[in-house]
Amino acid sequence: KAGVTQTPRYLIKTRGQQVTLSCSPISGHRSVSWYQQTPGQGLQFLFEYFSETQRNKGNFPGRFSGRQFSNSRSEMNVSTLELGDSALYLCASSLVPGINEKLFFGSGTQLSVL
Amino acid sequence: QKEVEQNSGPLSVPEGAIASLNCTYSDRGSQSFFWYRQYSGKSPELIMFIYSNGDKEDGRFTAQLNKASQYVSLLIRDSQPSDSATYLCAGLMNTGFQKLVFGTGTRLLVSP
């Protein structure tokens, strides 16, 4: 069974640009979450999607947005990039939302903003 | 106070020893706990999860949960150099949403 697939693996952008990251969950998984990882802040929750609906959002500015498609694939978008947006963006999937559901992470997209 | 706290380490143990990694959490609403291992430059890999008070063993790994003390731990028996990594503790809030709250991780170094 294929794992969580994230594309692209690496991305270099300049300030002010926008970027779209893609995530394909494990087959059969319907819940997708996004996390940002930086050396200083660790892993921080961005948002979670289930059945094409954003169910929860972390404390990030509105420049960070996402969506989920009917096949459970998800995208996140960051507009007007800032230097501080440089981070590893991780997508995680689970079968369904629930306290006993395990999250499995993709390899991440390393975003560098110059 | 951070919601999930871990000592950043590094925790250094010799090969074959028991490594003990600890984590405390502040929100009693946290229901499930997960330990992820993250090698440098790689994504987190789930190694253990625990939902109930007590111990849960899986091979060389034992997770312990004490909800009264709001304390989670991970024991690694017979530590190997390949266990050298950062170990992330995470709690899942009982909100019906899949929001994992992570600690900043403990770096483990196992010396041959």
What does the pLDDT read at residue A44? 92
Contact of B20 with chain A, judged by CB distance below 8 Å, is answered with no
What does the pLDDT read at residue B96? 55
Closest residue of A to B34, CA-based? A102
What does the pLDDT read at residue A56? 86
Separation of alpha carbons A96 and B22, rounded Å:
29
Closest residue of B to A59, CA-based? B99
DSSP class of residue B92 equals E
Beta strand spans in chain A (E): 5-7, 10-13, 19-24, 31-38, 42-50, 53-57, 64-68, 74-78, 87-94, 104-105, 109-113
**Residue ranges in chain B whose pLDDT is less than 70:** 1-2, 93-98
What does the pLDDT read at residue A101? 74
Q: Are B32 and A90 an interchain contact pair (Cβ–Cβ within 8 Å)?
A: no
Residue B20: Cβ-neighbour burial (10 angstroms; 0-12, 13-18, 19+): middle
**Residue ranges in chain A whose pLDDT is less than 70:** 1, 98-100
What does the pLDDT read at residue A1? 66
Task: Select from A43, A51, A93, A107 the residue whose CB has the most chain B CBs within 10 Å, as the one to mutate to test that interface.
Answer: A43
Q: Are A103 and B101 an interchain contact pair (Cβ–Cβ within 8 Å)?
A: no
What does the pLDDT read at residue A113? 97
CA B82 to chain CA centroid, nearest Å: 17
